[in-house]
A = this chain, B = another copy of it.
Amino acid sequence: MKYVVAFSGGLDSTTLLYHLRAEGHDVKALSADYGQRHGAREGRAAEEIAELLGVERRVVNLTALVEFFGRNSLSDAAVPVPAGAYSEDSMKQTTVPNRNMVLLSVGLAWAASLHFDGVAFGAHGGEYTPYPDCQPAFAEAMDKAAAVCDWRPLSVLAPFATWSKGEIVKRGAELGVPFHLTWSCYAGGETPCGVCGTCVDRAGAFKEAGMKDEG
């Protein structure tokens, strides 16, 4: 099968690229620029990994959409990135509303025009980052919408939807994912801040997997 993969250059979506290829699928990678403060560093990571794999990667410029997203700390430099493990409150501050549906809908448009089978994204379960649009119920609802959005049924895959982030790290290790090339931090620096929600989240995942993070 052939899938467009929502690909940020982070731990989850990089492992997803490797995982789908290992299962024999053809993939193209779709990254989004919505003005995220960590965008340049994240984009470099994504480009390096896509080149390493020989996977075509396109960046969709969603900065024109930012006015519809309201204020949040990812796309608005005036809003500080909350430190510490994710809480419901800090997650709300780093939520770009409906980001995954926007990205999946563009991915499905691209998949339709490529005559691909659908789009895949790295939503996962476990105790970390329970954003609403990363839940299995959201992935399933989008899969049903994808089945009827075009002349030909498309699908939305979220193979990690019920996995913990530690399980993703373990699967990535099996597949030889170059974790040191992936990028997670939301803070916008050249090295991981170590204190934002996604840095804490990443550290927890490696701890759960019993591995050292070389990233």
Contact = CB atoms under 8 A, between A and B. Distances in A.
Interface in A74-115: 92, 95-102, 104-106, 108-110, 112-114
Interface in A123-174: 132-133, 135, 137-138, 141-142, 144-145, 147-151
Contact of A148 (B92, B110, B132): B132
Contact of A145 (B60, B97, B138): B138
A68 B141 contact: no
Interface in A174-214: none
A109 B113 contact: no
Given A98-B150, A150-B97, A151-B132, A109 B145 contact: no
A92 to B, nearest CB: 7
Nearest to A62: B64
A24 B43 CA distance: 46
